[in-house]
């Protein structure tokens, strides 16, 4: 099985703030995105990793042809960044995994379980049931409680058969439809997206306190 990994890393991290975008903040001494790339390279299935970064950063990166890791310019939205990476990657893959540049603690064994399910059913999403009660609000006033029975919180890596992601991305381009993640996109176009157990340690670094948590638990959470 030949796997392409796409890492959208062209966001500006408005909720995180700071001088450098959150995906380049150091975690245990390394930029978060570098730590993630190295972790993916541990899987023998991964043939290529394409990282989408901002134009400004792209001009500073030296790339050699034939490298397993390739950099491309990202886009305005996450989906456009994924599209640019997908187009640059070539076609020789069975499955594609899309992973946030700010989720350092995914596990290779979770990835490999997702790869098998995606190959069989077309798409696989790691997700967690919600633990908090979810309320709807309007102008700061609680208006009702959301029934969370059928609601899950999406994580990454989200894995797709190559043809499934290609079709979903191409249709979205034509329709000018922009989804917040690729699992949502695939489901929007009628694909069977299998929901698999996510991992509570696989947090997304969104705000500065998430990085503090990641540093504090690095040893424990980074275990395979």
Cα–Cα distance measured from residue 118 to residue 182, given in angstroms and rounded to the nearest whole number = 13
* Contact indicator for 81, 180 with CB cutoff of 8 Å: no
Q: What Rg do the C-alpha atoms of the chain give, in angstroms? A: 17
Instruction: Compute how many other C-beta atoms are within 10 angstroms of the C-beta atom of residue 144.
Output: 10
The minimum distance between CB 143 and ligand CTP, in angstroms, equals 25
Does 104 interact with ligand CTP (rule: CB under 6 A)?
Answer: no
Q: Which stretch binds ligand CTP (CB under 6 A): 24-32, 76-84, 119-127, 130-138?
A: 76-84
Touching ligand CTP, residues 145-204 (CB under 6 A)? 204
Closest CB to ligand CTP among residues 1, 212: 212
Position among 4, 95, 101, 154 found at the interface with ligand CTP (CB under 6 A): 101
Does 102 interact with ligand CTP (rule: CB under 6 A)?
Answer: yes
Whose tokens are 């990476």? That residue is: 85
Does 34 interact with ligand CTP (rule: CB under 6 A)?
Answer: no
Cα–Cα distance measured from residue 211 to residue 203, given in angstroms and rounded to the nearest whole number = 10
The minimum distance between CB 211 and ligand CTP, in angstroms, equals 12
Position among 34, 43, 110, 206 found at the interface with ligand CTP (CB under 6 A): 206
Q: Which stretch binds ligand CTP (CB under 6 A): 14-22, 107-115, 128-136, 168-176?
A: 14-22
Instruction: Compute how many other C-beta atoms are within 10 angstroms of the C-beta atom of residue 62.
Output: 6
Does 12 interact with ligand CTP (rule: CB under 6 A)?
Answer: yes
Closest CB to ligand CTP among residues 1, 41: 41
Position among 19, 56, 65, 76 found at the interface with ligand CTP (CB under 6 A): 76
Cα–Cα distance measured from residue 78 to residue 181, given in angstroms and rounded to the nearest whole number = 8
Position among 4, 5, 6, 23 found at the interface with ligand CTP (CB under 6 A): 23
Q: Which residues bind ligand CTP (CB under 6 A)?
A: 8-16, 23, 52, 74-78, 81, 100-102, 204, 206
């Amino acid at each position: 099985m030949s796997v392409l990994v796409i890492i959208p890393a062209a966001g500006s991290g408005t909720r995180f703030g700071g001088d450098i975008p959150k995906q380049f903040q150091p975690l245990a001494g390394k930029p978060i995105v570098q730590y993630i790339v190295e972790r993916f390279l541990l899987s023998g299935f991964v043939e290529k990793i394409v990282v989408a970064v901002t134009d400004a950063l792209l001009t500073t990166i030296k790339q050699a042809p034939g490298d397993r890791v390739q950099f491309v310019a990202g886009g305005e939205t996450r989906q456009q960044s994924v599209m640019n990476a997908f187009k640059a990657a070539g076609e020789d893959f069975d499955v594609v995994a899309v992973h946030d540049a700010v989720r350092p603690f995914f596990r290779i064994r979770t990835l490999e379980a997702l790869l098998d399910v995606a190959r069989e059913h077309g798409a696989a999403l790691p997700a967690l049931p919600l633990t908090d009660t979810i309320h709807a609000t309007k102008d700061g006033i609680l208006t009702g409680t959301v029934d969370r029975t059928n609601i899950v919180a999406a994580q990454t890596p989200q894995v797709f058969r190559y043809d499934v992601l290609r079709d979903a991305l191409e249709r979205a381009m034509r329709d000018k439809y922009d989804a917040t993640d690729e699992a949502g996109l695939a489901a929007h176009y009628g694909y069977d997206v299998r929901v698999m157990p996510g991992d509570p340690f696989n947090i997304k670094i969104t705000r500065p306190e998430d990085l503090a948590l990641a540093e504090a638990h690095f040893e424990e959470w980074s275990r395979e």
